[in-house]
Amino acid sequence: MNNNMVRILIFSLCFLFSVVGKAQNEGDVLFGGSSIHDIELSFWQTNYWDTLTQHYLTDTYIPCHMTVNGVPFDSIGIKFKGNSSYNNPSDKKSFKIDMNEYISGQKIDGLKKLNLNNGFKDPTFMREKVFLDFLQNNGIPAPRCTYARVHINGTYWGLYMLVEEVNKKFLDLRFGNDTGNLFKGDPQGDLKWLGPSPSLYYPKYELKTNESQNDWSDLVAFINALNNATSQGLYDSILQHFHANTYFSAWAAHNLFVNLDSYMGSGHNYFIYHDASHDRFEWITWDVNEAFGGFQMGMTVPQLEQLSMYYIPSPSSNRPLNQKLLSNTTYKSEYTLVMCDLIHHKLDLTKLFAQIDSLADVIRPSVQSDTKKFFTNQQFEDNIHQDISVPMNPGAPVIPGLKSFIQARVDFLVAELEQQLCFASTDYHSSNQFMNVYPLPAHSHLFIDYGSSQQDILFLLDSSGKLVATYPSGTTTIDITEFASGLYILQVGNNPVIQKKIVIAPR
């Protein structure tokens, strides 16, 4: 082992144990704590800024020394990144860091690449962090996020979001394998059918793994199945290539937080990974700095607050994944159930607001001392609670307040879900009165677990509320093979009524 490698190992171990002790997985130290990291970037090149600017056009790195929380790292690779976050007059740019661009094997907390995002278009510095934390807490594949105070050659450059890279290490940590193809849906990954030749898709997507093999056949097969399957065979055709249930969770979350700079709006900013374990594509969220209605597509804040959970921009054919899924009764029912569960069981506004307040307290001093930020200290404070008017802000002259916006979203979605027979009391009425039903979706049998000592007659209703079957008190297994696929309601009791939405899958 050469001297450089010895130093790298020592530096890495010092960093690891100086923060919180040994991590369970790579990145747990960087992303597991509540403190803000301190990152010093030291350039020795006289014209380093001009060089970074020139290299932005060629998407290449330049060398730089970096110190993280007092631990030095030699010759890391660094470059500007981003689109709108780069193309603004400020010199507070976003950066991508490659630990082993110049020194093979160099890592930080087991990771090779990191992103420093500059907070462009977000007065609160919290949109990205809060939304990514929500995805993480609910098992929806997405990168981790924390904060860093960045200094460049001794000058405080401002507060940044430190964001995990989606690469092979990310895949291994999330899916337990990293051998499949990882595609990025940029610059225009709309998933529209262009023809059978893989080369037709090269300008619209990026292959991020297995580049030397350059085998795009799995992506083409998925897009073909999505766009060209018959209406009768659509469910099974998509299921063969794509894990729709994981996507429904991501889609519902993006809709709830109105992150329109994504597939559901602008049609990009995502990854899909061909999971080798299940031979299906998985959806991975990316680039969420404009959540909470920051990317508005010409809509007003009230329109964004009342965006339907089934929203697809016009023409809907430009978003074939969402269009096709909603055109299938069973898939639409499954998505509706996911949104119902998200709103009523996974989102706790009291906890979310407490998180926002806690984050604001942590980052406030670093925000206030950031002279390069894009908004004022008062706008930071105001936008936590309320909308602010910023006429010169590109694409969003009124920026929704974090708390006011998500509260309005929940109020609207609760009302919309009630029209789909999803109510806050659907599953639980008290600590000893509930009903669990599984599996969902079901293919042949439903199994029922009662939490109430009083077991009443069971009623099976269709999606319109019409009674289709009755079962005696105490029934724990129901044969559903005689019923058509779709959304149903299982009800027990009369006072109180306990209901559970179920989906019977196609056979």
Note the pLDDT tens digit of each residue in 446-500: 888 766 545 678 888 887 778 899 988 888 889 998 998 888 888 876 655 677 7
Report the C-alpha gap between 338 and 203 in whole angstroms.
33
| 191, pLDDT greater than 70 | yes
Decide which of 119 and 10 is more confident. 119
**Exposure of 447 in the CB half-sphere (CA atoms within 13 A):** 2
Nearest 5 degrees, angle CA 379-CA 383-CA 384?
A: 125
pLDDT per residue as tens digits for the range 79-102 = 999 988 898 889 999 999 999 999
Residue 156 token pair: 């405080």
Dihedrals φ, ψ of 148, to 5°?
-145, 135
Rounded Cα distance between 432 and 33, Å, is 37
What percent of the chain has a predicted confidence (pLDDT) above 90? Answer: 72
Last residue of a domain, one of 153, 169, 185: 169
Question: What are 156's strand-pairing partners?
Answer: 151
The residue out of 169, 199, 224 marking a domain boundary is: 169
Please report whether residue 97 resides in a domain: yes
502, β-bridge pairs? 488
Instruction: Specify the pLDDT at position 433.
Output: 54
pLDDT-based confidence at residue 507 (cuts at 50, 70, 90): low
Region of poorest pLDDT, from 206-210, 231-235, 253-257, 341-345: 341-345
Which residues span the domain enclosing 160?
Answer: 3-169
| Mean pLDDT across 304-316 | 98
Segment 419-425 long-range contacts (CB within 8 Å, at least 24 positions apart): 420/336, 420/340, 421/463, 421/465, 421/489, 421/499, 421/501, 422/336, 422/337, 422/339, 422/340, 422/343, 422/344, 422/501, 423/344, 423/499, 424/344, 425/496, 425/498, 425/499
In a domain, 403, yes or no: no
- The C-alpha atoms of residue 307 and residue 364 are separated, in whole angstroms, by 31
Q: Are strands 71-81 and 62-68 parallel, antiparallel or unpaired?
A: antiparallel
In a domain, 461, yes or no: yes
Q: What is the pTM of this model?
A: 0.84
- Is residue 104, in this structure, part of any structural domain at all? yes
Q: What is the mean pLDDT of residues 282-295?
A: 97
Q: The domain that contains 499 carries what CATH number? A: 2.60.40.3080
116 belongs to a structural domain: yes
Question: Is 444 part of any domain?
Answer: yes
- The mean per-residue pLDDT over the stretch 145-152 comes to 98
- Domain final residue pick, 120, 146, 169: 169
Tokens of 90: 């400020």
CA distances, 369 to each of 163, 360, 364, 451 (Å): 22, 14, 9, 54
| 454 domain-assigned | yes
The segment with the largest mean pLDDT, out of 17-26, 339-348, 425-434, 438-447, is 339-348
In contact, 412 and 306? CB cutoff 8 Å: yes
Non-local CB neighbours of 140 within 8 Å, separated by 6+ positions = 246, 249, 250, 253, 285
- Euclidean distance between CA atoms 232 and 230, whole angstroms: 5
Q: 14 pLDDT exceeds 50?
A: no
* Domain assignment present for 305: no
pLDDT digits 0-9 by tens, 398-442: 999 999 999 999 999 999 988 876 765 434 333 445 677 777 777
Is the per-residue pLDDT at 505 higher than 70? yes
pLDDT at residue 424, as a whole number: 59
Give me the pLDDT at residue 428, please: 34
* Partner residues linked to 16 by β-bridges: none
Alpha helix segments (H runs only) across 138-243: 168-175, 217-228, 234-241
Give the integer Cα–Cα distance in Å for 59 and 80.
8
What pLDDT does 219 receive? 98
Mean pLDDT on 159-166: 98
Q: What is the pLDDT of residue 76?
A: 98
> What pLDDT, on the 0 to 100 scale, is given for residue 500?
79
Q: What is the predicted pLDDT for the residue at 462?
A: 84
In the chain, how many domains are there? 2
Q: pLDDT (tens digit, 9 = 90+) per residue, 230-271?
A: 999 999 999 999 999 899 999 999 999 999 999 999 999 999
**Summary mean pLDDT of the chain:** 90
Name, in order, each residue with C-beta under 8 angstroms of 355's C-beta and a sequence gap of 6 or more: 130, 133
What phi and psi values does residue 375 have, to the nearest 5 degrees? -140, 170
